Amino acid sequence: MKILLTTLNSKYVHSNLALKYLYSVVAESQLDVELKEFTINNEKDYVYGEIMRGGYDLVCVSCYIWNIEQIKELCTDLKKADPHMKFMLGGPEVSYDSTNFMKENPWVDYIIRGEGEYPFFQFCKCLAVGNTDPSLVSNLTYRLKGNIVENPIATLPVMDKLPFPYNFLEVEQDKVIYYESSRGCPFRCSYCLSSLEVTVRRLPLERVRRDIGYLLYKDVKQVKFVDRTFNYDRQRANDIWKYIIDKDNGKTNFHFEICGDMLDSDAFRILSKARKGLFQFEIGVQTANPYSLQAVERETDINPILYNVRKLMDMGNIHVHVDLIAGLPYEDYKSFGRSFDKVYGAGADNLQLGFLKLLKGTRIRQEAGEYHYKFRNKAPYELISNDFMSSLDLVKLKMVENVLELYHNRGGFDRATEYMIERMELTPFGFYERLADFYYSKDYQHAYHSKEDLYRIIYKFSMRQEARFSGISLAAKELLERDMAETMNEDSVKRFNRKGWNI
């Protein structure tokens, strides 16, 4: 019996932690198990060929919103090519609707719902002794005499019982290393799958220190904690941050998703000692509209969050990324603009605009009728419209998102954009809206633009404003030159100057 654990990651630098856990729970068994990861950008034929050549009896695939459609296509072809090949799926995309999914996809033999380690271990243990009775495996959905059967869900394992996933696998130096010190989230945001988990389970501190110590010893580039709200227990988070600061190898960066309003004075005291580049924080703000927060049961007050974001930015040693979600209940286009301005004003390094996805299993999807949510049929089930945002509003926000990414998040335009926002007497949102209108009216969105060309485009935009704001383009040009000198190397600046400002 040859088993493959596989998935299609969204980028080469990503890797799949769930598969590593599955591998580690059966690594010491007698079974022949391989782990091979591909990406959604790999040629279809290449992935198909690699799996066919492997001669696997059982192919286990980890499914998410970003890969499910490609996985369906790939596995349908593989099953045609080798009808004896069995397919076992797992992951959030198949966990919440497994019976229907199997009805719609006849090539699927098994689905493991929820956390996969224990059921996969049980399944493999049975296989190892030649027992193929699927009724013995918890969380399993399978076919039996033309019917689809769902076995009960097992009690969630104590986290410390799970092996360190890098015990049996090489740490890939060129990839982001994912690590999990806790599972579940204490909060109940209705659009989020993590809100469905009833408890938060965590590894003991000693174990976390040992695991981190190993990753530091391996000099990996980035460790990304996938804990849903890393600092839900302030003391524990402070202890881990302190440990990392004390053991810092000068190379590794650690990424955490945190709750911004839960940073206390101890946290700031500890974090202030971190090397610049050691930590990167992702702080979900989502909206500044209190009615929206209430409607999605997100119990948070955004003022302390933004206060703490500013404080982190003032410290200057931690990279901070904040998120907004367009499409929450009671958030219309104008209210979204206000949320944008408030959050932008906190000055984080990155402001990411996300668009609500009505994920399978979430409460917001079950309650979609209440606000007349329309969303796309296929993953990632992105919002089309609701009672508060029209489909055109969302298209306009996508345009803003695009220019925000180019002119704010990637950096290099701060002086000039700040000046233009003030000179044009616009709010930040109003400015990016105006810039987006210009960018799309010139059809720049159709092609990739080098950094140099982005300077030329925004300069052209400033020239467009001359009629109303005399002298704006000259001042903008000077500031753009200073921004450029700071972010581009000398050769690029020389190349830019040879070609000039015309585009």
Residue type present at position 133: D
- When binding is defined by CB under 6 A, the residue of 119, 134, 260, 284 that contacts ligand SF4 is 284
Query: 122 or 194, CB closer to ligand SF4?
Result: 194
CB of 200 to ligand SF4, least distance (A): 10
Q: Of these, 192, 203, 309, 326, which contacts ligand SF4 (CB under 6 A)?
A: 192
232 vs 429, which CB is nearer to ligand SF4? 232
User: Given candidates 79, 183, 228, 456, which one binds ligand SF4 under the rule CB under 6 A?
Assistant: 228
Q: For the residues of 423-465, what is the DSSP string, one character each?
A: HTT--HHHHHHHHHHHHHHTTGGGS---HHHHHHHHHHHHHHT
Instruction: For residue 217, give the H/E element and its range.
Output: helix 205-217
Q: What radius of gyration, in Å, describes the C-alpha atoms of the chain?
A: 25
As beta bridge partners, residue 59 has 4, 87
In 3D space, the residue among 70, 74, 160 whose CA is nearest the CA of residue 117 turns out to be 160
Among the residue ranges 189-197, 287-295, 332-340, 427-435, the one whose residues contact ligand SF4 (CB under 6 A): 189-197
Side chain identity at residue 47, one-letter code: V
For residue 355, state whether it binds ligand SF4 (rule: CB under 6 A). Answer: no
**Does 194 engage in binding with ligand SF4 (CB under 6 A)?**
yes
Asked if 185 is part of the footprint of ligand SF4 (rule: CB under 6 A), the reply reads yes
* Range in contact with ligand SF4 (rule: CB under 6 A) among 126-134, 192-200, 260-268, 301-309: 192-200
DSSP SS3 for 345:
coil
292 lies in the site for ligand SF4, by CB under 6 A:
no
Using CB under 6 A as the binding rule, whether residue 124 contacts ligand SF4 is answered as: no
The answer to whether the CB of 281 falls within 8 A of the CB of 318 is yes
> 369 to each of 327, 358, 374, 375, how far by Cα in Å?
14, 12, 9, 11
Strand partners, 179: 225
Residue with Cβ nearer ligand SF4 (65 or 274) = 65
Look up residue 406 and give its DSSP letter. Answer: I
Run of H or E residues at 122: helix 117-128
Burial category of 201 from C-beta neighbours within 10 Å (exposed 0-12, middle 13-18, buried 19 and up)? middle
| Nearest-approach distance from CB 278 to ligand SF4, in angstroms | 23
- Minimum CB distance to ligand SF4, residue 46 (Å): 35
Q: Interacting stretch for ligand SF4, rule CB under 6 A, among 70-78, 137-145, 190-198, 393-401?
A: 190-198
Question: Taking CA 60 as the corner, what is the angle to CA 59 and CA 64, rounded to the nearest 5 degrees?
Answer: 130
Residue 502 carries which side chain, given as an amino acid letter? Answer: N
62 binds ligand SF4 (CB under 6 A): no
Output 26 or 325, the one with its CB closest to ligand SF4: 325
Answer yes or no whether residue 195 interacts with ligand SF4 by CB under 6 A.
Answer: yes
Name which position in 181, 229, 402, 473 contacts ligand SF4 (CB under 6 A).
229
Residue 375, SS3?
strand
- How many CA atoms within 13 Å lie on the side-chain side of 103? 8
Using CB under 6 A as the binding rule, whether residue 181 contacts ligand SF4 is answered as no
Smallest gap, in angstroms, from Cβ of residue 69 to ligand SF4? 24
- Taking CB under 6 A as the criterion, the residue among 66, 96, 164, 187 binding ligand SF4 is 187
Q: Is 243 in the site for ligand SF4 (CB under 6 A)?
A: no
Report the interface residues with ligand SF4, using CB under 6 A: 185, 187, 189, 192, 194-195, 228-229, 284
